[in-house]
Amino acid sequence: MRRPCVLQLIVIATSFGLLGAASSIKSRVPPDPAIIPLQSQLAAIDGPSGYYTNTYRKDETSYWENLPVWIRRNAEHHKSSRVLDIGCGYGTLLAFTAEIYHAEPYCLDVIHYLPSFGVAHGFHFTLGNIQLDPVPAPGSFDRPLLVPPAVALQ
């Protein structure tokens, strides 16, 4: 039985211009200052030879370069108590969003990358696939995040 979930998606598609450039294009927007310490925490957990540290980190914010500014603006006018990141990856954007909204972070992904980062940031992680599995927690979410995988893999 599927659990009901009210979704107000922050990101629906790239056509709205909210997502950043593909990883092959250098990011035009400098990372939000709150993102850098989160990335440093992930790199420390991952270690000097880890994939996040050596490969993913340098391109990560280009997948969603405009979202932190938009999230900050939105948080000035809207309260949120629960955030759901569908396909959270390493969790950088979820940790940032939860911090800005002062919200409880929930996430769903098919792989649990660097679990200790999620534990340190209070993530309620569910291993699963949004197309096949129920929403990871009962109730509604004020700020679901969805960065389409096709964009993240470019």
Q: What is the 3-state secondary structure (H, E, C) of the chain?
A: CCCCCCCCCCCCCHHHCCCCCCCCCCCCCCCCCCHHHHHHHHHHHHCCCCHHHHHHHHHHHHHCCCHHHHHHHHHCCCCCCEEEEECCCCCHHHHHHHHHHCCEEEEEECCCCCHHHHHHCCCEEEECCCCCCCCCCCCCCCEEEECCHHHHCC
Which residues in the chain come in under a pLDDT of 50? 1-25, 150-154
Any domain includes 18: no
Angle, CA of 50, 125 and 104, to the nearest 5°:
115
CA dihedral 18, 95, 27, 53 (to 10 degrees): -150
Any domain includes 60: yes
Tokens of 105: 């972070």
Residue 51 sits in a domain whose CATH number is: 3.40.50.150
Any domain includes 19: no
Any domain includes 75: yes
Any domain includes 96: yes
Residue 4 has what pLDDT?
37
What residue numbers bound the domain in which 67 lies?
26-152
Whole-angstrom Cα distance, residue 64 to residue 41? 19
What pTM was computed for the model?
A: 0.81
- Give me the number of domains the chain comprises: 1
